[in-house]
Structure 1
Amino acid sequence: MRIEDLKIKIEDELKGIAEISVREPNVIDVKVSRDKIVEVAEKLKRMGFDHVKSVTAVDYPGERFEVVYVASSYEASLSYFLVSLRTSLPYDDPRMSSLLSVWPSVLYQEHEEHDLMGIEFEGNPRMGERLLLPESYEGIPPLRKEFKVRVEGIDA
C-alpha cells in the first residue's frame, strides 16, 4: 500500500471529523477535537491500527497543550505506517478522555503525561496516583515550560 492510498482511506473514514495530512514519508497526521478523539481512535483501530507506540504532550505556554498518540499496526500491510493522532487542550482546562478503552497500551503513558505535564485523562484509573514523582510532590508539573529549576540558589 502507498501512503497516498492510506491517506485517502483514512480521509474517507474520518470525513468531516478530522484534518488529515501526510507529514513524513510514512506518517499520517490526524488532527481532531478532544470531544471526537475516542470516536476517531476507535475508527483507526477498526482500520487496523492496533496499538499505540507513544503518548506525549507539548506545552505551548499560556495558550494550549497538544496531546499526541502515535499509533501503529502489526498487520504486514500497515506495519510500515504510523498515525500521529493529535488534539489540542486549552491551557486552563487540560483534560480529555483517555484512550485506554481503545488501546490498552496507553495506560502508563497517559499516566506519565498526567504526572509530568498535569494533563487529566478521564477514564484512566491511574489519575491521582504518582508514577515518577514522589507522592508528596505539589506544585507545577515539572515538564511544563513554566516550571523553574532551582540549583543552589540559582533560578534557571
Structure 2
Amino acid sequence: MAATVTRPALMPDGTDRPFRVFVHEFLAFADRLTAVRAGFAARLGLPGAAYTTLIALAHLEAGQPGVAALAAHLHVSTAFVTAEVARLQRAGFVHKRPHPADGRRVVLSVTPAGRAALARLAPVQAPVNDALFAALGADDFRRLAALLPRMVADGDAALATLHAEDAA
C-alpha cells in the first residue's frame, strides 16, 4: 500500500505503519470519549452536544460569555451553539439575557436547575474521568493539554486541504 503520510516524524521506522496504528488507537479512544460524554448527557436527559455546551458554559460563565465566545471555545459554529442553547433553554438549564452594553448580543448563564443537575453529575464524572485518563501522569497531561489546541488547528487545516482537493 502507498504511504498515507510523508512527514518523517510520523514514520519513525520509515513506514506509515506506526502512524496507522496511532490513528486507529486515537479513533478507538475518541469513540470511548464520545460514549462517556453520551453517558453523562443521558443522566441529564440531554444529547451529547447539549451536555458539552452546558458544561462548557458552566466553566466559562464568569466571563459572561455569549454565543460567539462559547462557539469559539468549543470550536463550532455560532449556529450550532444557538441551536444547542435553545435546547438547553427548553430543558430549563440555560438562561439567555441581553448584553448590558450591547443589545445585539446576549449573555448566557446556567440556571439554578442546570447547576443542580451538574452538581448531581459530578460524583459520577470524577471516577469516570479518572479512569478514562488513568494512563496520563502529570507531565503527560500537561504535554497533551498543550498539544491539543495545536492539533485542533491542524485538524482545521487538514479539513481545508481535503475540501480544496474536493473542489479541484
Q: Shorter chain as normaliser: what TM range?
A: under 0.3
Q: Pick the structure with more strand per residue.
A: 1
Instruction: Compare the two structures and name the one with the higher helix fraction.
Output: 2
- State the TM-score, normalizing by the size of structure 2: 0.24
Bigger radius of gyration, 1 or 2?
Answer: 2
TM-score (norm 1): 0.25
